[in-house]
Amino acid sequence: MDTAADRVENAPANAPANAPAPEVPQLHATERRVLGVLIEKGLTTPEYYPMTVNALIAGCNQKNNRDPVTQLDETAMVDTLRSLEAKGLAASVIADTGRVNRWRQDLGRKFELNAVLLGIVGELLLRGAQSEGDLRGRASRMRPIETLDVLRELLAHLRGKKFVVRLSPEGSARGVRWTHTLGPHEEPAANQEVDSAPTLFAKPTHHEPAGTSAPVAPAPDLLARILALEQRVARLETLSGPSS
């Protein structure tokens, strides 16, 4: 069914037909969370959309359908919204009452993503890398995705727009995992597809706004090197025998 939200998200960006496509933005963790919530709430609860700052804080900090769980405050939220606005990914609108400003996402308008594609991107922003099965089930709460084959067609479309990357090796069929390209991801470098531009996963140079609680995990390749060194030391000790 064609809803008002779908018609808004399907509206083309105000750009000449021959203009080059804008580059996929690189966002820090809080920007990704806020943008994901704007997408999610716009598709699932359009009666409360656009959203107030307080509603966005509650949506970002809720414990279900989020990974990791955050504790954003008003300062972090306002700073993040202004940053997204400067990048053309969010906009402030005046409520009908004229008393409280509300916020909407403009990712769909800027990159010409319809509601189904936005749901997939929003789900990846909220939870990070996921298997195709999990992604289909979770994104379907925003807009239905009938089968895995349909999901794969949608992912192929998003891949062509440089919005998603396949993490599993090409040719594998079980447990295939995907993630977005709007920021760094947690998968080992060996699983990145070879034709992806390295800059897609570069860590942003700016600082996170105050009030975030995203954990910093050790790099997977560092853990692998530590484990290899430990195993090498153990072999050397075995070969040398007990010390006298």
Looking at the domain assignment, is residue 100 inside a domain? yes
Does the pLDDT of residue 127 top 50, yes or no?
yes
Q: CA 11 to CA 167: how far, in whole Å?
A: 31
Q: What is the average per-residue pLDDT within 105-122?
A: 98
Looking at the domain assignment, is residue 211 inside a domain? no
Looking at the domain assignment, is residue 96 inside a domain? yes
Looking at the domain assignment, is residue 133 inside a domain? yes
Looking at the domain assignment, is residue 89 inside a domain? yes
Q: CA 208 to CA 218: how far, in whole Å?
A: 18
Q: Which residues contact 56 (CB under 8 A, 6 or more apart)?
A: 34, 37, 38, 77, 81, 103
Least confident of 11-20, 196-205, 221-230: 196-205
pTM of the model: 0.71
pLDDT band at 99 (very low <50, low <70, confident <90, very high): confident
DSSP state of 206: S
- CATH number, domain of 60, equals 1.10.10.10
Q: Higher model confidence: residue 209 or residue 122?
A: 122
Assigned token pair, 93: 């609108």
Q: CA 240 to CA 232: how far, in whole Å?
A: 12
User: Per the structure, how many domains does the chain have?
Assistant: 1
Does the pLDDT of residue 74 top 70, yes or no?
yes
Looking at the domain assignment, is residue 227 inside a domain? no
Query: Which residues span the domain enclosing 93?
Result: 4-201
Looking at the domain assignment, is residue 163 inside a domain? yes
Looking at the domain assignment, is residue 22 inside a domain? yes
Assigned token pair, 151: 């999901």
How confident is the prediction for the chain on average, in pLDDT? 80
Taking the C-alpha atoms of 12, 14, 20 and 21 in order, what is their torsion angle to the nearest 10 degrees? -40
Burial class (CB in 10 A: 0-12, 13-18, 19+), 232: exposed
